[in-house]
Amino acid sequence: MIMQGQLEFPFAGRPDSNEGVKPRDREPVAEHDTAEAGIDLTNGKENLLDQLLDPGNIAEACKKVKSNRGAAGVDGITTGALDEFMTEHWLGIADRIRSNSYRPQPVRRVEIPKADGSKRLLGIPTVIDRVIQQALLQILMPIFDPYFSESSYGFRPGRNLTRSWRNVGTSSVAMQTTATST
């Protein structure tokens, strides 16, 4: 039975079963065991939505989106205009998020030329949608990252293609050493 405030993941087994995805180096914990295990999903807030809309989280997300720069989406708002836009409109956006009536804007489609003469389609979300995505990432990454495989390098902090290849090389050498020593 799922209790209020408890998360149910479609890819994971029931809390009382051994099936589903498990975090590295630890067994899954039931919600009532999270405090004992040192896991605080609420971060002192009532729920994940409160964490998402926390002014500090939104400010950090704005800072990250501005530092990434990037083009304007379909609404034409640039990262340079973000502070002014947020000052004028954030409370309304937050209310729409809380009432589940917020809908992301369509992405702006642009074609990026490739070296071979073909084109690659790129979708550019609005700056506001990028702020909301970043704010959500900042809340969810610490919760879900422990469930990722150690060999997963895509879109994770501190991991990239170069590190992935280094890991492949290290694993390859270790396997060759083990194979030759037996």
On average, the pLDDT of the chain sits at: 76
119-124 and 108-113 beta bridge pairing: antiparallel
Residues forming beta bridges with residue 124, ordered by sequence position? 108
How far is 29 from 41, CA to CA, in rounded Å?
12
How does pLDDT run across 82-95, given as a tens digit for each residue? 999 999 999 999 99
pTM above 0.75, yes or no: no
How does pLDDT run across 57-68, given as a tens digit for each residue? 999 999 999 999
How does pLDDT run across 123-169, given as a tens digit for each residue? 999 999 999 999 999 998 888 777 766 666 666 666 666 666 676 66
Q: Which amino acid is at 137?
A: L
Residue 157 to residues 112, 153, 154, 160, 167: CA-CA distances in angstroms? 26, 9, 9, 8, 16
